[in-house]
Amino acid sequence: MDLKIVETSLNLRVERKLGKVLKDYSLSKNVAIEQLKLEADVYCNLEYMECNTSEYMEAFSTAGYIPYKGLDASQRGIMCMVKKEYPVKILHILTEPHMLHLQIEKEGLILDIISIKILVAGSDDTDYIGRKEQWDRVLDYLDSIKTKNLCIVGNLNHGVISQNYGEQNARRFFNYQILLESLKKKEIKVVPINGTSYRGYLKIDHLCISDNLRVVKAEYLNLFGKHRIIGVPNHSLLVANLRVCK
């Protein structure tokens, strides 16, 4: 069974210092149009919020997709679009980090897809300690489930990848190597993808898979260019073609 997944950071956020609220923002139909050109089975959207989304939702509905959401108390989180012909179950939601676990059936096979956004707050020691605590919650959840067909996709926000992290570097508390080793212990591998996913130097959007999955192709695609427009993706999209082995 083959399945195509697209992870997108929608870049939706509220400028609270300017007195803004959710309904001051929109998720454009144009974003949906660009995403739909990729003809994926599943779209995992991070940085989603319940703003003006009617045109975006209509575009996906017309194309034959159903939305599944995992939101926090502020109505922000993850929203996945899945082709309507696939049976889907929402198995679990976390709000810190944002996490949505879907179980999807295709051709009689089951694939578990977990979408994650590690939340950030300042890039100091306290922030990275908090990021590690969020990641530990994900690891605890992974220990609680049993699946041989697991795909994890998302912005894991471990910061710049370095070889060493000194005593003055906040990333000593949470970094790519910590993430890599923690998944390795669970027999989950981080898929190598050429290039970067954010700002030309950060590689923080990842695809992680269990041993029973094969990667046909995985790449970063920068469809929206460089900008600071809220509601237009500012990360490269992570596009992956996966194969579930019987």
CATH number where 214 lies: 3.60.10.10
- Residues of the domain holding 75: 2-244
Secondary structure (3-state) at 36: helix
Secondary structure (3-state) at 130: helix
Identify the pLDDT of residue 245.
86
118, 155 Cβ separation under 8 angstroms:
yes
- Predicted structure pTM score: 0.97
Identify the pLDDT of residue 228.
80
149, 128 Cβ separation under 8 angstroms:
no
Secondary structure (3-state) at 47: strand
205-210/188-190 β-pairing: antiparallel
The tens-digit pLDDT sequence of the chain (246 residues) is 999 999 999 999 999 999 999 999 999 999 999 999 999 999 999 999 999 999 999 999 999 999 999 999 999 999 999 999 999 999 999 999 999 999 999 999 999 999 999 999 999 999 999 999 999 999 999 999 989 999 999 999 999 999 889 888 999 999 999 999 999 999 999 999 999 999 899 999 999 999 999 999 999 999 998 888 999 999 999 999 999 987
Identify the pLDDT of residue 225.
87
Identify the pLDDT of residue 53.
97
Identify the pLDDT of residue 131.
98
Give the count of domains, the chain: 1
Q: Which two tokens stand for residue 19?
A: 């007195």
Using only the alpha carbons of the chain, give its radius of gyration: 17
How many Cα atoms are found within 13 Å in the side-chain-facing hemisphere of 212? 13
**Would you mind telling me the total number of residues written for the chain in this entry?**
246
DSSP state of 211: T
Residues 161 and 152: their CA atoms lie apart, in Å, by 19
Identify the pLDDT of residue 186.
97
